[in-house]
Amino acid sequence: MPIHLTINGKHVTAPEGATILEAARANGIDIPTLCHHPDLSNIGACRMCVVSVEKARGVQTACTTPAAEGMVVNTMSPEAIETRKFVLEMLLTDHPNDCMTCEVNGDCELQDLVYDYNVKWPEHNGKRHQYEIDPDPNPFIFIDRNKCILCARCIRACDEIQNRSVWNFANRGFETKLVAGADQLLLDAYCESCGQCVAYCPVGALFDKMSLGKGRIMQVKKVRTTCSYCGVGCNFDLNIRNGQIVRVTSAPDAPVNGMALCVKGRYGYDYVHHPDRLTRPMVRAKWLDADTVAEQVKSGQWALFTEAQQRRASLSYRRTSGNGKSPAQDSQSEITPDTFVKTDWDTALDVVARKFTQVKKDHGGDAFALLASAKCTNEENFIFNKFTRQMLATHSIDHCARL
């Protein structure tokens, strides 16, 4: 049964059990928050969402106060605004003033609220926290507790979404501190390095270590894509700067996974730019017309992948040369039947189709055995299954995830 209430003079309705915050946002009324996130439970810790409720004593936290029939709410009362400004000023008294060099400059919820409420950086000579920056040797999560605002979003994300309960608070009062496990290193606290805590952090206290110094929100272009590591179909945003992937960020509107990603999906993107990665199909010269190979290589449409290049790729891409030859010299090497030729996709697929057709004609479908991949989507594996059974006429198909 819907609830009828008034917010800022506007008559609105909300479903039974909704909070004031949910009722307001469902009707296009903004209430600022820091500790709240729609994916997480509400704890009312930051006090930024305070509102005035008629006939109620003091201000109320909108994220934890249930909406009631006939309730009259003012989200911008003088008391609410003054409380928010005070909260922001108190946060700034123990927050580093390094926005100019902060990784999340332009993507910081605290920074946005300080701007919206025109809060000046307070003159403060009192005690400040001086935690060690990046004290954890894990390769994925950068920690700066000096920027932590104790919103507990990382704690709830780890506990409620990942079910790992790695993060928690230690001590009380001014000594309250975000810790992993029993104040341990992340890996010792059985962290899976999924980066979920980073995704939900509203400030720069937790960040992706692989992305430090590689580009902030206003310097990157986001491209939505699907993870290639398994068939679940998780979506995320590639953060691109100067043609390079510098970070992977969660997408709240991703239909399959929302903000959740595993360690491979969030941090396993460096293979894209690895020099050993194949970006063009390669066909042995003996399966191509010799005259065509010579003509296409001479025109620059195709290229040779010689033994010298193969040795260099297999040893280390940090070395500029494996045998003193340059790539230009290698391209003039003698073409043998087993030389790999970097062709175009149409040519390579024609070779595969021709060879498959010949094998099927000579030996029948039982000459084939195919192995599908868990890194493909369900749809891709379905097509692969149809191709195996209908085109190649064999039932010898298996899946690597079953092994």
Domains along the chain with CATH numbers = 3-91 (3.10.20.740), 109-211 (3.30.70.20), 217-273 (2.20.25.90), 275-345 (no CATH)
Q: What is the DSSP string of 164-201?
A: ---EEEES-GGG-EEEETTTB-TGGGT-----HHHHH-
Contact 46, 52 (CB under 8 A): no
Residue 326 or 385, more confident: 385
353 has pLDDT over 80: yes
Residue 279 has what pLDDT? 87
**Residues with Cβ within 8 Å of residue 51, at least 6 apart in sequence:** 20, 31, 59, 60, 62, 65, 73, 74, 75, 77, 80
Give the whole-angstrom CA distance, residue 379 versus residue 376: 8
For the beta carbon of residue 201, count every other beta carbon within 10 angstroms. Answer: 22
Two structure tokens written together for 8: 């800022």
Fill in the DSSP letter of residue 12: E
Contact 186, 18 (CB under 8 A): no
Residue 322's pLDDT band (cuts 50, 70, 90)? very low
Ramachandran area for residue 9 (φ above 0: left; ψ -120 to 50: alpha; else beta): left
Give the whole-angstrom CA distance, residue 278 versus residue 248: 22
Two structure tokens written together for 194: 């999924």
Residue 317 has what pLDDT? 45
User: What are the angstrom distances between the C-alpha of 265 and each of 103, 222, 271, 402?
Assistant: 21, 16, 12, 21
Residue 276 has what pLDDT? 82
Number of helices (H), then strands (E), in the chain: 11, 17
Average pLDDT score over residue span 158-171: 96
Give the whole-angstrom CA distance, residue 344 versus residue 303: 10
For the beta carbon of residue 322, count every other beta carbon within 10 angstroms. Answer: 16
Q: What is the DSSP string of 272-317?
A: GG-TTS--S-EEEGGGS-HHHHHHHHHHTSSEEE-HHHHHHHHH-T
270 has pLDDT over 80: yes
For 217-246, the pLDDT digits (tens) are: 999 999 999 998 887 889 999 999 999 999
Q: Which residue bears the tokens 């932590």?
A: 148
Give the whole-angstrom CA distance, residue 46 versus residue 91: 10
Max intra-chain CA distance, the chain: 91
Provide the CA 257 distance to its chain's centre, in angstroms: 11
Residue 399 or 25, more confident: 25
**Residues with Cβ within 8 Å of residue 85, at least 6 apart in sequence:** 117, 119
Average pLDDT score over residue span 140-160: 98
Give the whole-angstrom CA distance, residue 88 versus residue 82: 10
**Residues with Cβ within 8 Å of residue 313, at least 6 apart in sequence:** 275, 276
Contact 280, 297 (CB under 8 A): no
Q: Which residue bears the tokens 């106060």?
A: 65
Distance between start and end Cα atoms, the chain: 52
Contact 63, 42 (CB under 8 A): yes
- CA geometry: angle at 402 spanning 399 and 403, to 5°? 100
For 26-75, the pLDDT digits (tens) are: 999 999 999 999 999 999 999 999 999 999 999 999 999 999 999 999 99
Contact 356, 392 (CB under 8 A): yes
